[in-house]
Amino acid sequence: MVQVRLIKNTCHQLVKPLNIDKMVFEKSYLEKLPLLGVVFLLCFFSLGFHFGWLLQPYDELRLQQIVFTLCLFFILFYRKIFFSAYLGYQFLFLFIFLFLHLYFYATNIYVFQDLLILILAPIWIFSISISCKSFAKVNIDFLYKILFFIVIISVLPTIFIFLSIKNFLIEGNWYNWHMNYDSIRVYNSFIVPVFFITLYLRLVEFKYIKRIYLILVFLISLSLWFDGARSAILSILIGLIFIFFYKKKFRKKIFITGTLILVAFLSYYLTYYIHNQLYEIDQSLNIVRSSSSGRLRLWGYVYEHWILQPFQGLGGGYLATTDYPLNHLHNLYLRLIFEWGTLGLMYLIWIVYQVLKIIKSDNVHIVLKAGIYAIFVDALFSGNLVYPASQISIFLFLGLASSQFYLKSVPNKKTQLLTKIILLLWLSLYMYILINYLLKDLVCWNCGSYADLMAPGFWFYGKAEHLIHYSLIP
């Protein structure tokens, strides 16, 4: 009996901070669930966990993202969270443009896929922001613990890079060490926000990260060097330079962080040097590439078509409708303008405006500002806002930064009514697309995406319109 009581008391102490029963039954705890949901989704991706619902984990995470968005809508309604008038009118403005584009220009399934992402992105960021505020208000240390857990789980797969290094030196072949998708660029874009969350925890003096911070930075840097992730490395370095010049008190820690990135590069260089000596070859570092990896040719190709209809745009997911061997532009800004025309330009202006408001705020930590810079630098050359895992990672980071950006407003009857109307409009548009164009994908079991070209987009095979049963896949 004594042992049973001891075990019971121990379990109670472990789950006490979460108050799971209250989260389920009390409205005030519902707003904490978005952040916890994000934790689970990022864990599944980082550890390569696969439910078996679909064939590819990439497609499975996309459907989980879609379903979780419905949960976020429910939480926002049930919790009765209110927009400020400032934010409410922006959401209303965006809805009008999304609706008009849907009404006049939605001609194929790829447009609806992109529209779905444009709808869920603000909902995720807003919900995560509310969740982070809720945790910080009650216990800021517990919020740090959640972020620390995300960092550990996200960096854990990089340990396997040492097995690849060993095989590279002994057998002469490099093996993919990633635990998730075939495309290494997904993890590269995913880890950039995680790097700045790691740095954020270090600079706020979170006690648990002090001893392993150097190891975490080294592992992240080493993984990016070996992956040849030029865009991710450039974005991280720009973020660090921003902090170094604008916050004198953090310069020593930023210098140490930069030194670790250099040490990781030297380890990377030494590995290739030893490999070349052992096998008497002259294999160059995969990070040292002077080419644009076809980006300039890709942007020129799309520009030639866009100039014929600049106001309307080419339509979401345009490359998926062509024979071009890629499915997205590897540039968020050009993609919004070329594919979405006037709507894309308005959406881009809204994004830039929001980012500038956050960056100018004195309440937002300097590391979070630097992380935002890094994310949008990475967006110049990658598909970081295309892949579901990197999308979730970025939404988490932007939500965390937004949670520190306070706009003082007192809810009144007008703002309460405005919030309800706007959420209903966004939910209606989301459900319309979901039911009419993606319902067959949601209810498909043992299905997967397939096309002649494996290049990720909305689905793992970006040119795929819908998921199909595994028996129909060649």
24/443: higher pLDDT: 443
Q: What integer is the mean pLDDT of 29-47? A: 86
What is the pTM (predicted TM-score) of this model? 0.91
- What six digits make up the tokens of 322? 């062509």
Does the pLDDT of residue 411 top 70, yes or no? no
Report how far apart, in Å, the C-alpha atoms of 28 and of each of 73, 84, 330, 428 are.
Answer: 16, 19, 40, 25
Q: At residue 407, does pLDDT exceed 60?
A: no
Report CA torsion sign: 399, 230, 43, 196.
negative
The pLDDT score that the predictor gives to residue 7 is 36
| Residue 205 vs residue 407, higher pLDDT | 205
Predicted confidence band of residue 420 (pLDDT cuts 50, 70, 90): confident
Domain with 407 in it: 32-282+295-472
112 compared with 347, residue with greater pLDDT = 112
437 within domain boundaries: yes
Each residue's pLDDT tens digit, 351-384:
888 888 888 888 999 999 999 999 999 999 988 8
Pick the most confident of 213-222, 291-300, 406-415: 213-222
Tell me what the pLDDT averaged over the chain comes to: 86
Q: Please give the single-letter amino acid code of residue 286.
A: N
Is residue 85 predicted with pLDDT exceeding 60? Answer: yes
Tokens 């447009």 belong to residue: 111
Question: Residue 406: what pLDDT?
Answer: 63
Q: Which residues contact 430 (CB under 8 A, 6 or more apart)?
A: 69, 70, 73, 116, 119, 120
Q: What is the DSSP string of 320-353?
A: GGSS-S-SS-S-HHHHHHHHHHHHHHHHHHHHHH
**What confidence score (pLDDT) does residue 1 get?**
44
pLDDT for residue 413: 64
pLDDT bracket for residue 6 (50, 70, 90): very low
Amino acid (one-letter) located at 84: S
Q: What are phi and psi of 455, to 5 degrees?
A: -140, 115
Residue 129: pLDDT band with limits 50, 70, 90:
very high
Segment 1-11 mean pLDDT: 40
Beta bridge partners of 469: 447
Q: Could you identify the residue written with the tokens 């970025």?
A: 394
pLDDT at residue 426, as a whole number: 94
436 closest CA partner among 168, 163, 111, 81 = 111
The closest of 207, 209, 195 to 243, measured between CA atoms, is 195
pLDDT band at 197 (very low <50, low <70, confident <90, very high): very high
The predicted pLDDT at position 11 comes to 44
**Residues 225 and 268 sit within 8 Å (Cβ to Cβ):** yes
Q: Is the pLDDT of residue 138 over 60?
A: yes
Per-residue confidence (pLDDT) for residue 44, from 0 to 100: 87
Percent of the chain surpassing pLDDT 90: 49
- Does any domain span residue 18? no
Q: Out of 212-226, 385-399, 445-459, pick the least confident.
A: 445-459
More confident: 307 or 182: 307
More confident residue, 3 or 256: 256
pLDDT (0 to 100) of residue 23: 46
| Residue 290 belongs to some domain of the structure | no
Beta-ladder partners of 412: none
What is the distance between the terminal CA atoms of the chain, rounded to a whole angstrom? 60
Does residue 197 form part of some domain? yes
Q: Which helix (H) or strand (E) holds 447?
A: strand 447-448
Query: What's the whole-number mean pLDDT along residues 56-79?
Result: 91
- Provide the β-strand partners of residue 54: 447
Q: Rounded CA gap, 108 and 102, in Å?
A: 11
Residues 6+ apart with CB under 8 A from 314: 302, 305, 306, 338, 339, 341
Which of 326 and 263 is assigned the larger pLDDT? 263
User: What pLDDT digit, counting tens, does each position of 96-118 carry?
Assistant: 888 888 887 788 899 999 999 98
Rounded distance between C-alpha atoms, residue 242 and residue 94, angstroms: 31
The answer as to whether 205 is a domain residue is yes
Provide the token pair at 101.
Answer: 């584009």
Q: By percentage, how much of the chain surpasses pLDDT 70?
A: 89
Q: How confident is the model at residue 3, as a pLDDT?
A: 37
Rounded Cα distance, 352 and 25, in Å = 38
* pLDDT score for 12: 46
3-state secondary structure of 32: coil
Whose tokens are 């004594």? That residue is 2
Q: Any residues with CB less than 8 A from the CB of 178 and at least 6 apart, and which?
A: 157, 184, 187
pLDDT attached to residue 295: 84
pLDDT at position 435 over 50:
yes
Give me the mean pLDDT over the 285-300 stretch: 72
Q: Identify whether 26 is part of a domain.
A: no
Domain count, the chain: 1
Residue 441, pLDDT score: 93
Is position 156 within any domain? Answer: yes
Distances (CA, A) of 73 to 126, 413, 430: 11, 21, 10
What digits encode the pLDDT tens for the residues 224-279? Answer: 999 888 999 999 999 999 999 998 899 999 999 999 999 999 999 999 999 888 88
Question: Which amino acid is it at 232?
Answer: A
Residue 163 lies in a domain: yes
Chain-centre distance for alpha carbon 371 = 12
CB 101 within 8 A of CB 431: no
pLDDT at 22: 47
Question: Tokens 């992402």 belong to which residue?
Answer: 117
